[in-house]
Amino acid sequence: MGHFGERPLLRMARGGWATGVSALLLVTCGQRPTADDPASGNWTRYGLDDAETRNSPLTSINRNTVGGLGLVWSHDLDTDRGQEATPLVINGVIYNTTAWSKLIALDGGSGRVLWRYDPKVPGSAAANSCCDVVNRGAAYWKGRLYWGTLDGRLIAVDAKTGKRIWQVATVAPGAKNTITGAPRVVKGKVIIGNGGAEMGARGYVSAYDAMTGGLVWRFYTVPGKPGVRDGAASDAVLARLAAPTWKGDYWNSKGGFGGGTVWDAMAYDAKRDLLYIGTGNGSYWSRKIRSNGTGDNLFLSSIIALRPDTGRYVWHYQQVPGDEWDYTATQSIILADLKVKGRVRPVLMQAPKNGFFYMLDRESGKLLSATPYADVNWADGIDPASGRPRIRAEARYSETGKPFLGKPGPSGAHNWHPMAWSARTGLAYIPVQHTAGLYTSDPGFRANALGVNVPLRPATLALPDDPAARRVIRAGVTGELLAWDPARGRAAWRVQKSCLPNGGVLSTDGGLVFEGDCEGYLNAYDAATGRRLWRFDAQSAIMAPPVTWQADGRQYVTVVAGWGGSLALMLGDAVKDAAGRARLNRSRVLTFALGGRAVLPRRAEVIASPLPLPTEAADAATISLGKTLYHRTCFACHGLSASSGGPVPDLRLSPVSRDASAWQAVVSQGVLVQRGMIGFSTVYSRAEVEAIRAYVLHQAWVDAAHQ
């Protein structure tokens, strides 16, 4: 794929039509699209093409016909934990990864299950995931499928049978790196990164031989212990450029192990033979803890260009020197050829968490522009000459010791939910999040052996008890689908969303933009104006990006519904609907086509039987200790202030919280570990676990008193 951003030459879909010069070319040359060309009707790569545009050339479903789009079939998945995957579709077969890193193959026309592969991820692996037990997708190459598992394995199976070909551990035994992102296949190598910066993980990306599973190269994104060589492709550049930007005993466990994890975005430019990876935030968040409060800490929050054959470093661009706001450069990377200041340039685009839309020259890594696409208050802009942000002094909360209400917050102005790029409209379609976060440095921080380790003062994370204040917060958790014109550095249109998260995006040459939302709809918008042309009541919030594909001359749209991920787990009451109910959540694969007439099964009403209110017994000091301990660990899954956002039990309403010994069995001993609830006996004493229960019961009482 060497013509990024140009109107793709091969526009003839199988059994479809083509127009203009390119059609003539096709007819005269008798050329047919190859199986991994988007014009073939297949969707063979995570971002559709190497440039990761997520813009399909298929046009039978278009502005004029989309009104006739209807459901063809739906398939219920076996778990209602978060679904974030981009399905691949090859010759009419859908390959979709689901929560707990399972892979399912479905017949695209009927939804019939062809095979399933369950890698049997141990429930304890959930302890190492910051953001739900999700998986974002597989890669395809020569009849084989590749995907990563939450516990760090990379698996290759035969696409026809689902039989395993090979499996490798991409992380060391006991390491806290997890895989939720999709691998990419470049020149016969499977490229895979991992996550875990909140757990103290050190970031790296690895390339495995697609045939054999042998490790070809590995590139670490941050330096390791001084004087110890990794024997990796990154050794020389880390010693030369990165190590001097880290201070203090950064390799010691108190500071975490660097971070910079490559947990999502990558793209490949075949013409320049460059693989681009995005790196994540610092581990642990506070630069004071991590690096004596100084240094750029390369290559955190950076785009790095590598040679895919060897992992050799070519260039980097760091977005956030010395990050301490969880600002990752791991959001969608899209390649296009764009006219910038009168000249067509090879551009790399990204709308990362930090709120600036970046365009780099992807040959040199030089910054072309960086424009805010959301509310930003951590920096006063990016200096065009040096490419460095002008970071505001008050944003450095670990230095000032004062709280900083940062915009965007740690969830970012845009997260993993993929954006799309249409060369026709010249617009990038970004699922934007309006978020803020209170950053407070925690002098009492100590890293736990299990679960997330965020060095912010735990009690400051809690939601206010006052329901009116909670309603205000809930009303502020909103987003928008933003059509961004990168050439002009401004918005073309916006569609406001009442809640978060909003879903990943698909655009098409049919003039459409598809996006699911937290209210439970899949929507189609006019790509030029943002006018909504169609929607479908999916009975479930949708986060995953839709895909479109074609088989036997019929164009389909497929999306996986389901609610979860970090926002859903963590924000609790702040992501509920206006009536205070958790968002609809049903994990389902949905497939649509023109004339589809299937209907979803009726949604079962859930009738919650209210439990008797516990009597308040604990003293204020115990409750306060419980609140702190809860907001060190439990909040990441059970929600701020013990208010669950839905996918994981609401502890205020749980019978287990009414029974001290059942509570100890679950929380200390971990009797539910296979279901993703680990035991915390290595972290908290029985008395501390009981203090958390006291806080949860107190919260149940406070919330009930407010009703």
| Sites of contact with ligand HEC (CB under 6 A) | 126-127, 451, 633-634, 636-638, 648-649, 651, 654, 656-657, 663, 666-667, 672, 675-677, 680, 692
- What tokens were used for 586? 């049903």
Could you tell me the smallest distance in angstroms from the CB atom of residue 642 to ligand HEC?
9
Residue whose CB is less far from ligand HEC, 5 or 649: 649
Distance CA 685, CA 691 (A): 10
Q: How far is the CB of 410 from ligand HEC (least distance, A)?
A: 17
Nearer to ligand HEC, 58 or 636 (CB): 636
Considering the complex, what minimum distance in angstroms separates the CB of residue 118 from ligand HEC? 17
Q: How far is the CB of 686 from ligand HEC (least distance, A)?
A: 12
Q: Name which of 100 and 276 has its Cβ closer to ligand HEC.
A: 100
Q: How far is the CB of 113 from ligand HEC (least distance, A)?
A: 24
Minimum CB distance to ligand HEC, residue 556 (Å) = 33
> Nearer Cβ to ligand HEC, position 376 or 666?
666
Which of 659, 680, 658, 677 lies closest to 669, judged by CA?
680
First to last CA, the chain: 59
> Please, which residue, 80 or 480, has the CB nearer to ligand HEC?
80
CA distance 163 to 594: 34
Would you say 69 or 677 has its CB closer to ligand HEC? Answer: 677
Please report how close the Cβ of residue 625 comes to ligand HEC at its closest, in angstroms. 13
Distance between CA atoms of residues 90 and 551, nearest Å: 9
List the one residue out of 174, 169, 356, 198 whose CA is nearest residue 263: 198
Of 269, 87, 305, 89, nearest to 187 by C-alpha is 269
Question: Shortest approach of ligand HEC to residue 130 CB, angstroms?
Answer: 9
Pick the closest to residue 133 from 677, 689, 698 (CA basis). 677
Cα(680)–Cα(633) distance, rounded to whole angstroms? 10
- The answer to whether 226 and 241 have CB atoms below 8 angstroms apart is no
Enter the tokens of residue 413.
């102005």
Of 432, 241, 270, 440, nearest to 351 by C-alpha is: 432
CB of 530 to ligand HEC, least distance (A): 37
In the complex, minimum distance from the CB of residue 98 to ligand HEC, in angstroms, rounded to a whole number: 15
Q: How far is the CB of 279 from ligand HEC (least distance, A)?
A: 24
Tokens of 691: 């203090």
* Number of CB atoms found within 10 A of residue 154's CB: 24
Whichever of 115 and 701 has its CB closer to ligand HEC, that residue is: 701
Say if CB 499 and CB 645 are below 8 A apart: no
Considering the complex, state which of residue 66 and residue 667 has its C-beta at the smaller distance from ligand HEC: 667
CB-based contacts of 47: which residues, under 8 Å, 6+ apart? 53, 54, 86, 267, 332, 334, 418
Which of 262, 683 has the CB closer to ligand HEC? 683
Residue whose CB is less far from ligand HEC, 338 or 541:
541
Whole-number minimum distance, CB 136 to ligand HEC, in Å? 18
**Residue among 21, 54, 11, 86 nearest 512 (CA):** 54
Q: How far is CA 461 from CA 370, 458, 484, 533, 637, in A?
A: 31, 6, 32, 40, 14
Nearest alpha carbon to residue 130 among 594, 666, 590, 568:
568
Residue 498 makes CB contacts below 8 A (sequence gap 6+) with: 478, 518, 519
Q: Which is nearer to ligand HEC, 468 or 617 (CB)?
A: 617
Q: Which among 547, 509, 548 is positioned nearest to 423, based on CA atoms?
A: 509
Considering the complex, state which of residue 402 and residue 675 has its C-beta at the smaller distance from ligand HEC: 675
Q: Which is nearer to ligand HEC, 524 or 677 (CB)?
A: 677
- Rounded to the nearest whole angstrom, what is the least distance from the CB of residue 647 to ligand HEC in the complex? 8
The span from the CA of 215 to the CA of 208, in Å, is 4
Residue 388 and residue 378: Cα distance in Å, rounded?
A: 13
Count of other CB atoms within 10 angstroms of residue 128? 25
Q: What's the closest the beta carbon of residue 85 comes to ligand HEC, in angstroms?
A: 19
Contact 222, 194 (CB under 8 A): no
Contact call for residues 58 and 563 (beta carbons, < 8 A): no
State the amino acid at position 662 in one-letter form. Answer: A
Least CB distance from residue 680 to ligand HEC, whole Å? 5
**Structure tokens that stand for 612 in this block:** 């008797």
CA–CA gap between residue 306 and residue 276 (Å, rounded): 6
Nearer to ligand HEC, 252 or 674 (CB): 674
Instruction: In whole angstroms, give the CA distance from residue 629 to residue 648.
Output: 18
Closest among 686, 682, 688, 683 to 621, alpha carbons compared: 688
Which region, left, alpha or beta, applies to residue 436 given φ > 0 means left and ψ of -120 to 50 means alpha? beta
Q: Are 206 and 275 in contact (CB under 8 A)?
A: no
**Please, is 387 exposed, middle or buried when counting C-beta atoms within 10 Å of its C-beta (0-12, 13-18, 19+)?**
middle
Least distance to ligand HEC, CB of residue 356, Å: 31
Q: Which is nearer to ligand HEC, 422 or 699 (CB)?
A: 699
Give 113 or 660: the residue with its C-beta nearer to ligand HEC.
660
How many other CB atoms are there within 10 angstroms of residue 465's CB atom? 14
Q: Which is nearer to ligand HEC, 66 or 131 (CB)?
A: 131
The structure tokens listed for 339 are 């006219």
* Distance between CA atoms of residues 213 and 541, nearest Å: 37
Rounded Cα–Cα distance for residues 335 and 351 (Å):
13
Between residues 494 and 658, which has the closer beta carbon with respect to ligand HEC?
Answer: 658
